[in-house]
Amino acid sequence: MIQNMNAPNLIQETFIKFKKGSEVISELTEISVGVTPHEIVYSEDKMKLLHYKTTVKNPCPVPVLMVYALVNRYYILDLSPDKSVIKNLLDSGFDVYAIDWGYPSGMDRYLTIDDYVNGYLNNAVDYVRKKSGADKISLLGVCVGGTLSAMFCALHPEKVKNLICFVAPIDFDTDKSLLNIWAKKMDVDKIVDYYGIIPGDFLNMGFLLLDPFRLLIDKYVGFFEHIDDKKTVENFLRMEKWIFDSPGQAGEAYRQFMKDCYQENLLIKNRMEIGGKRINLKEISMPFLNIMAEFDHLVPNESSHPLIKAISSTDKESKVFPTGHIGMFVGSKSQKEVCPTIAQWLKPRSYAQNENKIDVKKSKKNNHKSKEGMK
């Protein structure tokens, strides 16, 4: 059956590649992530607020607070100097803060979404407002961090000047993502009551099951094919570190998020309550930018897009980029298209005193490279 096969060549080539790869890997020291200079300016329990060192003389007067998801770690936004959303925003003239939620332990199992939104996030926002002297700040919520940011903006609109949701799930009634399908049948109470803190490995197993053959086999075969390239190896190891650096989830917050959002889809219906207060998305009236990834397998566009209709802002825009969920932060388009789009949208809105006076047309013109949002 097998003809014309030059087996010795194949073995020899593979061996040479493996040998070179071993040399490359053994030369590597520590894989560093999140290297953009910063300091911890505020902390509360496990949460830390990071303030990044500005890289321009006169940064925008309105600071940007980046709110990452509770799943995985915030440093995907600052993976390496050449793949850093944070560094890109700093270089574009923004004063950037980010929240590191930390790793919840046993005593955090009773933390609720109310504690995260009206507690930690609210205190972080107040700190940034106080430190910067700005009455309102810009919020950039990433993934579930975008969902939390939308909840915050609905409850505290007076503290936020601009809201950017970055691949954030809002409408959970979709079967485009396997996560949405699986979540519907999960016995959430049983899982939370048993684990308390939902283990990161439990969530990781779910993510790997989304496409087991590509994520557990093909990815590593691809890595082996480029094992002799130092830069590729470094980037691969950084991503591996991030993917499997998965904090556990505070049980009660997880319970409410899974039941209210994934199972009953209450948020988009304006029926979700946290801390006894109903979240009405119509209260979101500040300028709003919704950024989505066309090939997002975790948060399909159908899940993000409805937010633009649910809010009452008059200055609102959607942008879809032809990449995947993770590609939005570390893909080739991230630095060249996604970050410049955010900067160009945010800059005029960070200086304007009156939101109605913003030169939106100019801002839109600058964004010509990105695909227009779904209508």
Partner 1 sequence: MDKCESPNIFFAPWLKAWEASIGHIGEFPAVGPSREKTEKMMKVFPLCTNLYSVWMDSVSDFANISLEAMKRMNDKTAHMDGQISQDKYKEIYNNWIEIYSDTFKEFLRSGHFSGDMSEFMSCLIEAGKYNREMLEENFLKPMNLPTGTDIEEINRELYSLKKTVKELNRKISELSKER
Q: At what angle do helices 230-243 and 7-27 cross, to 10 degrees?
A: 70
* Shortest Å, Cβ 193 to partner 1: 8
CA angle, corner 77, sides to 74 and 79, nearest 5? 100
Instruction: List, in order, residues 6 or more apart from 191 with CB less than 8 Å away.
Output: 198, 202
| Cα dihedral 24, 28, 32, 37 in deg (nearest 10) | -100
Judged by CB under 8 A, the residue of 82, 211, 359, 372 near partner 1 is 211
Specify whether the CB–CB gap between 137 and 158 falls below 8 A.
Answer: no
* Shortest Å, Cβ 4 to partner 1: 4
Judged by CB under 8 A, the residue of 30, 58, 133, 221 near partner 1 is 221
Rounded CA-CA distance 317/179 in Å is 27
Stretch that binds partner 1, among 206-214, 285-293, 307-315, 347-355 (CB under 8 A): 206-214
Give the 3-state secondary structure of residue 16: helix
Our finding on whether 358 is near partner 1 (CB under 8 A) is no
Which two structure tokens, joined as six digits, stand for 110?
Answer: 């009773």
Our finding on whether 58 is near partner 1 (CB under 8 A) is no
Rounded CA-CA distance 254/203 in Å is 11
Our finding on whether 3 is near partner 1 (CB under 8 A) is yes
| Catalytic residue (one of 60, 143, 261, 339) | 143
Active site residue 261: no
Across-strand partners of 43? 48
Rounded CA-CA distance 68/139 in Å is 11
Specify whether the CB–CB gap between 315 and 284 falls below 8 A.
Answer: no
Rule CB under 8 A: which of 67-106 touch partner 1?
A: 106
Judged by CB under 8 A, the residue of 18, 194, 220, 295 near partner 1 is 194
Judged by CB under 8 A, the residue of 35, 40, 56, 217 near partner 1 is 217
Our finding on whether 208 is near partner 1 (CB under 8 A) is no
Our finding on whether 218 is near partner 1 (CB under 8 A) is yes
Rounded CA-CA distance 125/160 in Å is 9
Q: Which is nearer to partner 1, 31 or 210 (CB)?
A: 210
Alpha carbon 367 to its chain centroid, in Å, reads 21
Listed residue (282, 339, 18, 310) closest to 166, CA to CA = 339
Q: Which is nearer to partner 1, 141 or 196 (CB)?
A: 196
Our finding on whether 214 is near partner 1 (CB under 8 A) is yes
Stretch that binds partner 1, among 57-65, 204-212, 266-274, 332-340 (CB under 8 A): 204-212
Stretch that binds partner 1, among 2-10, 257-265, 280-288, 345-353 (CB under 8 A): 2-10
Our finding on whether 16 is near partner 1 (CB under 8 A) is no
Judged by CB under 8 A, the residue of 25, 31, 41, 191 near partner 1 is 191
Any alpha helices (H) in 138-229, and if so which ranges?
144-155, 178-184, 188-195, 200-209, 212-213, 219-225
- Annotate each residue in 145-184 with x if it binds partner 1 (CB under 8 A) or - if it does not, as one string: ------------------------------x--x--xx-x
Specify whether the CB–CB gap between 125 and 159 falls below 8 A.
Answer: yes
- Annotate each residue in 22-51 with x if it binds partner 1 (CB under 8 A) or - if it does not, as one string: -----------------------x------
Report which residue type is found at 75.
Answer: Y
Our finding on whether 21 is near partner 1 (CB under 8 A) is no
Which parts of this chain interact with partner 1 (CB under 8 A)? 1-7, 9-10, 45, 106-111, 115, 119, 175, 178, 181-182, 184-187, 190-191, 194, 196, 209-214, 217-218, 221
Catalytically active residues are 143
